[in-house]
Amino acid sequence: MAALSPAELGALWPELEREILAAESIIVGTHVNPDGDALGSALAFSQVLDQLGKTHVVACHHEPPSYLRFIPHLDRLQLSVPEEPADLAIVLDLEALDRLGSLRPAFEQANRMIVIDHHEPHEMPGDLRVISVNSPACAAILADIIKPSPITMTPQMATCLLTGILTDTGNFRFPNTTSHSLHVAAELLEAGADLRAIVDAVYMTRSLPAVKLSSRFLANMRLSSGDQVAWSKVGLPDFEATGAREEDTEGFVNDLLSIESVKIAALLRQVKPGKVKISLRSRGSVDVTLVAREFGGGGHKNASGASYDGDIDEAEKLLVEAMEKCLASS
């Protein structure tokens, strides 16, 4: 997989600019259930297009979670795109087009497509592909591309990009944190990024329903393989009883991985009848993409996700078997 250096990423700006300037209509999109990197990257790129004088639409299949509603220019985000095929589609933080959800056809119908991402790709769409799997976040790739360009890094743009880097590195706690990502974060702070707003919203604020759901999540915790495999689940009754929403499970799986003996952890959450979402985390050499791919998902070595169509108990049984197999082979 591509592992582009900051200098190599910066050198891509002229080609990227040519594609943008040649387009009359542009759509920008990211993955379903958008996180900080998805939204931060999309809205930062929206501001790049502003400076190039390009009208455009920023879209996502899902509404943003409440904890990310502080991000500058979030009001630009739409849940649909124009019916007329766009000249250019720009896809950010996404390794497979099916993760565009209902917006996929519009992006596939565009005359040209740019893909910018840091995941190992499942597919290879795009006329111009900027893939750097050693970057901790798509936002970090954008920061490297923008730095040598004539684009002005505004405080609002810097806040968007820093949000992406902070959330995808777990506030610089995850193994994907690099010295370069810390340097980039420092440069974004110098450009006026609002660190306090990001940390307060993402890491220091939780709703009461979220706390109530967390207690049920921990009560449902199970362990196996000498306490090296941990998992828990929250079903529709848990959401209904607490008044919590799916977004309130953010960070739950990391609580399991924080147990000193645990090497691989998972959260199963039933978001609607017959639909289960899975979050996976691991330590060290344990590669949870191997588990995620058994369920049609993907992601990173130590942080992946997937979904399962069926009963949550069925999903749990299959998931535990896959995690135990993954651990044994690591």
pLDDT tens digits for 11-65?
999 999 999 999 999 999 999 989 999 999 999 999 999 999 999 999 999 999 9
Residue 300 pLDDT: 82
Read off the pLDDT of residues 173-221 as tens digits, 9 standing for 90 and up: 888 899 999 999 999 999 999 999 999 999 999 999 999 999 999 999 9
Give the pLDDT score at 71. 97
Domain 6-203 sits in CATH at 3.90.1640.10
Model confidence at 1: pLDDT above 70: no
Is residue 261 very low, low, confident or very high in pLDDT (cuts 50, 70, 90)?
very high
**Which residues pair with residue 308 across a beta bridge?**
276
Cα gap 147→142, rounded to integer Å: 8
Each residue of 237-259: pLDDT tens digit?
999 999 999 999 988 999 999 99
Would you state the structure tokens that stand for residue 47, as one six-digit string? 């501001």
pLDDT of residue 3: 76
Q: Residue 288 in contact with residue 282, Cβ under 8 Å?
A: yes
* Dihedral sign, Cα of residue 42, residue 44, residue 48, residue 49: positive
Buried/exposed code over 105-123 (b: 16+ C-beta within 10 A; e: otherwise): ebbeebebbbbbbbbebbe
pLDDT at 269: 97
The helix, strand and coil proportions of the chain, stated in percent and rounded to the nearest 5, come to: 45, 20, 40
Q: What's the gap between Cα 32 and its chain centre? A: 9
Q: Where in the chain is the domain with CATH 3.90.1640.10?
A: 6-203
pLDDT of residue 120: 77
Q: What values do phi and psi take at 158, rounded to 5?
A: -65, -35
Classify domain 209-329 at the CATH topology level: Diaminopimelate Epimerase; Chain A, domain 1 (3.10.310)
pLDDT at 146: 98
Whether this prediction's pTM lies above 0.85 is answered by: yes
| Alpha-carbon span 49 to 149, nearest angstrom | 13
Listed in order, the ranges of the chain carrying CATH 3.10.310.30 are 209-329
